Structure 1
C-alpha cells in the first residue's frame, strides 16, 4: 500500500469514528430529552392524582356535614374550613370548598318567570340589575352601554327563544361580527363564556366575580343566607332590594352557626327592612346541595390545579363538572 493510500484510509477511518461519535452524542441527547419528558409527564400525572385525592377528601367533608346536620349548611361546618396546605410524599395538597348557593347562579336566567310577575322576566333579572347598580355606586362600572343592556343580553344569550329583548342581542348581533357565531340559547358551562356575550368586557366580569357563579345544567335560584360572606353584602342587598348598609347589619348579627330555619332569617331581616319579606319566600334557604372545590397540588417540580363542581343529595356526592388548570374564573 502506498503512502497516499495509507493516508486516505486513515482519513476515512477518522471520518467514520467522528461520524459514529456524532451519532452517539445525538442519540444520547435524544434519549435524555425522552427521559426528561417522561419524568415530567410522570410528575404531572402524580400531581393530578393528588388533585383527585383532594376531591375525595372534599366529598368526605360534605358527606360528614350532611350526616351531622342534613337540614342546615353554615360556615362553621367541616367543609367551610379555610384553605390549608398538607404535605404528602414528594409534594403538597391544598384545597378550598365554596358554596355555589352563596352566589348568583347566572343559569337562573333560564328559569321560568314568577306567575305573578308583571314583566314576565325571571326573578334573577331584577336582582342582577340591582347588583350592577350597587357595584356602580361604589366605583363606576366600565359599561359600554347601559346596565339594562347587560341584563337583557345575558337573558337573550341563555333563553330558549330568538326573541330579542329591548336592550338585548340575538343571533343577528353575533353573526355580523368579523368572526361570526350563534347565541347559546342554553345553560352556561363556565363563567368564561360571559366574555363572548355583548357588553361583558373583562373588567365587568372581574367586578362581578365575587358575586356570581355557574351551577352546571341548573336554573336553581335559591340563596343560602348562612353562607353568604360579609364581603358579599352587595349581593344580599340586591336580593333584599335594600341598602348595602342594612345588608351588612343583617350579616353582622348572624350567629356563627347561621339561622336555624328560614323563618328565623325572615323574622330577623324584617326588623331592619322597610319592605318586609313574605313568609313564603322561596328565594332564601338555609341549606345547600351545590359546592365547588378548587384544589392545588404539587409533586416534585409539577403543579396542578383542578376545579370540581359537586352536588350532594341523600349523602351521595356526584361530580357535575371538572376543569383542569387555569383560574377559577376562566
Structure 2
C-alpha cells in the first residue's frame, strides 16, 4: 500500500513538473514575442525618424545647391555630400544614415493631363502596339479626361462604356484611374504609371526620363549610351544633344525642374519605413508664399 502511494505521488510530481514546464515554455515564448513586437515597433519608429531627418537634409540641399549632377570630371566646389550622390532620374542613392533615396524630376515624364500625342504614341508603339492601336488608346485617354461627351475619331465616350455608369470627364486625380479606360490592359497601365505624371509643369526634359521612355524616344542603342553617361554623372546638355540628335525648343528643355518626387526607404532589422512625396520647390518665394508646396505625400 505504501509503495502504491509513493507511485501515485511520483506520478503527481511528474505531472505537475510537466505542466509547470509547459507553462514556463509558454511564458518564455510569449515574452520573446512581446520583445520582438516591441523591437519591431522601435525599429519602425526609428525608421520614420531617420526618414524625416533624411527628407530635411535632401530638401535643404535642393534649396541651397544647383540641381545638377556632380562627378570627378566636373569642376564643382560644393561641399554638399548629398549633391555628390544625388540624381534626378529615380536611381537609388544611400545617405550616411542608411536611408535610401530616389528623386524623379517630373519634367522627365509625360504629362498625363495634357497628353503629347507624338511622345505618348512612340511609347505605346515601343510596347508593341500598332499605329492604329496607339491612336485608339490616345484618343480614349483624351476622351476620358475631357469635359464633353463628343467622341474623338478613335476614342470612347460614355456610350462606349457599357459597364460603367459614368466616365471621368475631367483630369484624373491619380494615374491609376486610367485602368478604367476602354481597352486598357494591366501592362499598359504599368507603363503609364512609370512614365507619366500629373505634376509636370512646363517643358519636357528627356535627360531625366526613365529607361523605357528613352528607349521609345531615341532607340535602345542610343538610350544605352545616355544611360551609361548618366550613371557615370558625365552627361551634360551638350553631350545629350550629341548622342540623341534632340535639340531644345519651346516644348523641350534640358534642365531639371522644380517639380520633383522623392521616395525615401529605411530598413532596420525586420522593419521597413517608406515615404513618397511629390513637391514644387519655390526657392525665391516671397512674403506669404511657401518655399515648398507638397503636392502628394504617402507613407
Range of TM-score over shorter length:
0.5 to 0.7
Counterpart in the other structure of 2:79: none
The answer on 1:85 being equivalent to 2:94 is yes
Indicate how the Cα distance of structure 1 residues 13 and 139 shifts in structure 2: closer, same or farther if over 3 A, else same.
closer
- The count of corresponding residues between Structure 1 and Structure 2 is 259
Task: Show structure 1 runs of 5+ residues with no match.
Answer: 109-123, 238-243, 259-267, 270-276, 325-330
Corresponding residue of 2:244: none
CA distance in 1, matches of 2:49, 2:207: 30
CA 80–173 in structure 1, closer or farther in 2 if over 3 Å, else same = farther
Counterpart of 2:103 in structure 1 is 97
The match for 2:12 is 12
CA displacement 1:92-121 (0-9 Å, x = unmatched): 12213221122212033xxxxxxxxxxxxx
- The separation in 2 between residues aligned to 1:81 and 1:287, in whole angstroms, is 12
Indicate the SS of the match to 1:141: coil
Provide runs of 4+ in structure 1 moved above 6 Å: 234-237
Match of 1:288 among 242, 249, 257: 257
Give how far 1:23 is off.
Answer: 1.8
CA distance in 2 between counterparts of 1:253 and 1:309 reads 25
Specify which structure has the bigger relative contact order, considering alpha-carbon pairs within 8 angstroms and separated by 6 or more residues.
Answer: 1
TM-score by length of 1: 0.60
The answer on whether the counterparts of 1:211 and 1:235 sit within 8 Å (CA) in structure 2 is no
RMSD: 4.3
State which of 126, 129, 138 in structure 2 corresponds to 1:141.
129
What does residue 131 of structure 1 align with?
A: 119
Unaligned runs of 5+ in 2: 71-75, 77-82, 227-234, 242-246, 286-290
| Map of 2:60 onto structure 1 | 60
Instruction: State the SS of the aligned residue for 1:15.
Output: helix
Q: 1:6, CA displacement in angstroms?
A: 5.1
How far off its partner does 1:292 sit? 0.8
What is the deviation of 1:321? 1.5
Counterpart of 1:153? 140
